């Protein structure tokens, strides 16, 4: 029947929407909305509940072009509150209400559709949208729930902390963290001790809170410490005065919390100016469970540093003496950095073992920072390039990188990894003869510890390193066991067959090998902007991770002039860092 309404189905969908809105309210901040053009879209005009022109944003169509392409706004008044619904061609309907017409309500309304909650009405529903809307208008319980949620949306986060200022002198590090329950703060304090033990000066900052007090109270979160400096936006311009940064973050679904992401997102002007390029960075984390972000929170956070051109300093296994290898108890700590486990309810506190690892990470990072500020060594820097190239593309990039490093006064040795494919297979694949560079063998692997820096050239296979390069890394086990490569500088360059077919993931997945060795990863960042890195007139390789080229699906495309220029820039960037940090 055309007018039939399934009350149970409506109630189920109503509850789904309410749960979704409740989740949104834990992170929603209402923007100011000035609106003048929306009034004509409301059938009943401004007499509903005040002047609509002051409350509805003219940008709705721009925010949601797909939804508003063939949609209409409905409005009406039930018992005082204004009700606004969206009716789409798919006969999906949603109505929300607010006691007063104000921006916080419409901020909530915008957040609802940004989160895609309209999907709650898709699939299986044959209700007439008009009937569904009328049902919602009659539901005082639904309306009152939305009213209270809408009012809560206007609740601003409360910020606590000291005014930010640079107190650190000499070689200096800024610890920037966010902590909901205090676990990351405890880790930060211990890391600070480790840093200071190396003679590095440290400033501690907490990033601004984005959750309203009611949400934090509902989560059982304690108040933020009032004796820690609050990293306000105005202070971001002072960050380049530090030599290094350690970022502490709790995990949210295997990635950093939104509060830390908001901080990184706010550093756009520093990125634009390249103000943090070459600075050292590291990470430490807290997760609720074992394997619940103990690695991926670091892994995904690294992209922020790479885009800034910051050098990533992992812990590696340099905290072995502090219990990193211990299997007698549950504990955090990975090759990426220190970590703790808060437990599902946040009640578990960092253990003594975890704090020991945190302090060790501070010592490792502090030592690296002091290397960047120490007087330049009188000796000549020495770099080894290890690569595999089937069709010659990676070899071409390697030659350009080597040439530019030599121009900077750095000595370069080049090795190719052993081939794993038979001659008959290579012939069928149309692979040319191998270049004359020395083939890496077991004896030469042991000599890698003699170099100040190691660069790796990698063709991609399904978005990660080829088997030949992986076999090489697997052969470095003895160097890992002795920690011989810990603290060495490293970087990568690659070749892929297609656009976006491993141009970033090949670097990212290969980086795990370097992190386990405790090597300091030196990315290109966007320091090749003047060499065409931002160019949009032609297809070209080159990412914040490092130089790259496209071979084409059949391997026939050769590295372009622009790609070779980017490769040369990477060589100069890497050589400069080697000269700065070699012992």
Same domain, yes or no: 361 and 392: no
Report if residue 159 sits inside a domain.
no
Same domain, yes or no: 414 and 549: yes
The pLDDT of residue 379 is 86
Give mean pLDDT, residues 45-63: 34
The pLDDT of residue 583 is 75
Same domain, yes or no: 285 and 176: yes
Separation of alpha carbons 210 and 225, rounded Å: 15
pLDDT, tens only, 339-388 = 999 998 889 999 999 999 999 999 999 999 999 999 888 889 999 999 99
User: Does residue 451 sit in helix, strand or coil?
Assistant: coil
Report if residue 486 sits inside a domain.
yes
Q: Of 110-124, 259-273, 445-459, where does mean pLDDT reach its minimum? A: 110-124
List Cα–Cα distances, 397 to 358, 390, 402, 551, in angstroms: 39, 13, 9, 12
Task: Single out the residue of 391, 394, 372, 353 nearest to residue 576, CA to CA.
Answer: 372
Partners of 282 in the beta sheet?
Answer: 246
Q: What is the mean pLDDT of the chain?
A: 81
Task: Single out the residue of 335, 334, 219 nearest to residue 287, CA to CA.
Answer: 334
Same domain, yes or no: 554 and 474: yes
Same domain, yes or no: 341 and 453: no
The pLDDT of residue 269 is 97
| 91 Rama sector, left if φ>0, alpha if ψ -120 to 50, beta otherwise | left
- Of residues 83 and 528, more confidence is placed in 528
Same domain, yes or no: 418 and 566: yes
Confidence of residue 10 (pLDDT cuts 50, 70, 90): low
User: Which of 326, 341, 373 is the last residue before a domain boundary?
Assistant: 373
Separation of alpha carbons 334 and 324, rounded Å: 7
Q: Which residues of 154-178 are buried (b: 16+ CB within 10 A; e: fewer)?
A: bbeeeeebeebeeebeebbbbbbbb
Residue 232, pLDDT > 70, answer yes
Q: Of 116-120, 381-385, 505-509, where does mean pLDDT reach its minimum? A: 116-120
Confidence of residue 126 (pLDDT cuts 50, 70, 90): very low
Same domain, yes or no: 359 and 390: no
User: Which of 316, 349, 373 is the last residue before a domain boundary?
Assistant: 373
The pLDDT of residue 14 is 53
Give mean pLDDT, residues 514-533: 98
The pLDDT of residue 11 is 58
Q: What are phi and psi of 453, to 5 degrees?
A: -150, 150
Report if residue 166 sits inside a domain.
no
Q: Which domain holds residue 286?
A: 172-373
- Of residues 151 and 174, more confidence is placed in 174
Domain count, the chain: 3
Same domain, yes or no: 342 and 205: yes
Please, what sign has the CA dihedral across residues 470, 474, 480, 482? negative
Report if residue 167 sits inside a domain.
no
Confidence of residue 157 (pLDDT cuts 50, 70, 90): confident
Report if residue 137 sits inside a domain.
yes
Cβ–Cβ < 8 Å for 150, 180: no
Same domain, yes or no: 289 and 423: no
Cβ–Cβ < 8 Å for 107, 27: no
pLDDT, tens only, 539-555 = 999 999 999 999 998 89
Give mean pLDDT, residues 474-494: 98
The pLDDT of residue 82 is 30
Ordered DSSP codes for 337-383: --EEE--TTS-PPPPHHHHHHHHHHHHHHHHHHHHHHSPPPSSPPEE
User: Which of 343, 373, 403 is the last residue before a domain boundary?
Assistant: 373
pLDDT, tens only, 19-29 = 554 444 443 33
Residue 86, pLDDT > 80, answer no
Separation of alpha carbons 129 and 13, rounded Å: 13
Report if residue 157 sits inside a domain.
no
Separation of alpha carbons 325 and 323, rounded Å: 5
Give mean pLDDT, residues 294-319: 98
Report if residue 1 sits inside a domain.
no
Task: Assign residue 340 the CATH number of its domain.
Answer: 3.40.50.360
Cβ–Cβ < 8 Å for 72, 87: yes
Same domain, yes or no: 360 and 226: yes
With the CA atoms of 42, 46, 52 and 53 taken in that order, what torsion angle do they form, in degrees rounded to the nearest 10? 100
pLDDT, tens only, 398-435 = 999 999 999 999 999 999 999 999 999 999 999 999 99
pLDDT, tens only, 257-284 = 999 999 999 999 999 999 999 999 999 9
Report if residue 191 sits inside a domain.
yes
Same domain, yes or no: 406 and 468: yes
Residue 566 structure tokens:
């980017």
Residue 203, pLDDT > 60, answer yes
Same domain, yes or no: 196 and 250: yes
List Cα–Cα distances, 198 to 29, 64, 378, 494, in angstroms: 41, 53, 23, 36
Q: Of 38-42, 247-251, 287-291, 440-444, where does mean pLDDT reach its minimum? A: 38-42
């Amino acid at each position: 029947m055309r007018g039939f309404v399934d009350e149970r189905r409506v109630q189920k969908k109503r509850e789904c929407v309410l749960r979704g809105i409740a989740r949104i309210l834990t992170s929603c901040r209402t923007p100011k909305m000035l609106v003048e053009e929306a009034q004509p879209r409301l059938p009943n005009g401004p007499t509903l509940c005040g002047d609509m022109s002051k409350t509805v944003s003219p940008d709705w169509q721009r925010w949601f072009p797909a939804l508003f392409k063939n949609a209409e706004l409905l409005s009406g008044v039930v018992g005082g509150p204004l009700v606004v619904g969206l009716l789409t061609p798919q006969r999906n309907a949603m109505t929300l209400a607010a006691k007063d017409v104000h921006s916080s309500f419409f901020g909530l309304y915008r957040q609802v559709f940004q989160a895609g909650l309209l999907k709650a009405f898709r699939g299986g529903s044959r209700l007439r949208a008009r009937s569904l809307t009328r049902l919602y208008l009659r539901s005082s319980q639904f309306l009152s729930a939305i009213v209270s949620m809408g009012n809560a949306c206007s609740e601003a986060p409360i910020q606590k902390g000291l005014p930010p200022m640079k107190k650190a002198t000499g070689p200096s590090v800024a610890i920037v963290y966010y902590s909901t329950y205090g676990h990351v703060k405890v880790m930060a304090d211990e890391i600070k001790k480790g840093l200071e033990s190396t003679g590095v000066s440290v400033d501690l900052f907490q990033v601004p809170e984005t959750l309203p007090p009611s949400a934090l109270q509902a989560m059982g979160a304690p108040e933020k410490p009032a004796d820690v400096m609050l990293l306000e936006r105005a202070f971001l311009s002072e960050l380049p005065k530090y030599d290094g940064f350690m970022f502490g973050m709790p995990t949210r679904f295997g990635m950093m919390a939104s509060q830390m992401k908001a901080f990184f997102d706010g550093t756009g002007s520093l990125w634009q100016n390249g103000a943090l390029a070459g600075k050292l960075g590291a990470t430490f984390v807290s997760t609720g469970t074992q394997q619940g972000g103990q690695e991926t929170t670091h892994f995904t956070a690294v992209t922020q540093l790479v885009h800034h051109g910051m050098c990533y300093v992992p812990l590696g296994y340099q905290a072995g003496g502090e219990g990193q290898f211990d299997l007698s108890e549950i504990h955090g700590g990975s090759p990426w950095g220190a970590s703790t486990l808060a437990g599902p309810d946040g009640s578990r506190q960092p253990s003594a073992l975890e704090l020991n690892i945190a302090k060790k990470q501070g010592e490792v990072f502090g030592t690296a920072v002091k290397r960047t500020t120490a007087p330049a060594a009188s000796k000549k820097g020495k770099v080894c390039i290890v690569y595999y190239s089937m069709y010659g593309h990676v070899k071409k990039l390697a030659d350009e990188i080597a040439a530019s490093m030599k121009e900077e006064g750095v000595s370069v040795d080049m090795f190719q990894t052993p081939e794993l494919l038979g001659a008959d297979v290579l012939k069928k694949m149309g692979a040319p003869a191998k270049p004359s560079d020395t083939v890496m063998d077991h004896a030469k692997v042991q000599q890698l510890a003699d170099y100040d820096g190691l660069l790796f050239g990698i063709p991609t296979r399904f978005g990660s390193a080829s088997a030949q390069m992986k076999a090489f890394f697997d052969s470095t086990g003895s160097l890992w066991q002795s920690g011989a490569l810990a603290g060495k500088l490293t970087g990568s360059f690659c070749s892929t067959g297609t656009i976006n077919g491993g141009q970033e993931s090949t670097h990212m997945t290969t980086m795990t090998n370097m992190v386990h060795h405790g090597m300091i990863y030196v990315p290109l960042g966007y320091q090749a902007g003047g060499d065409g890195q931002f160019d949009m007139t032609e297809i070209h390789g080159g990412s914040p991770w490092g130089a790259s080229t496209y071979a084409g699906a059949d391997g026939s495309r050769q590295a372009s002039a622009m790609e070779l220029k980017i490769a040369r820039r990477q060589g100069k960037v890497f050589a400069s860092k080697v000269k700065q940090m070699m012992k």
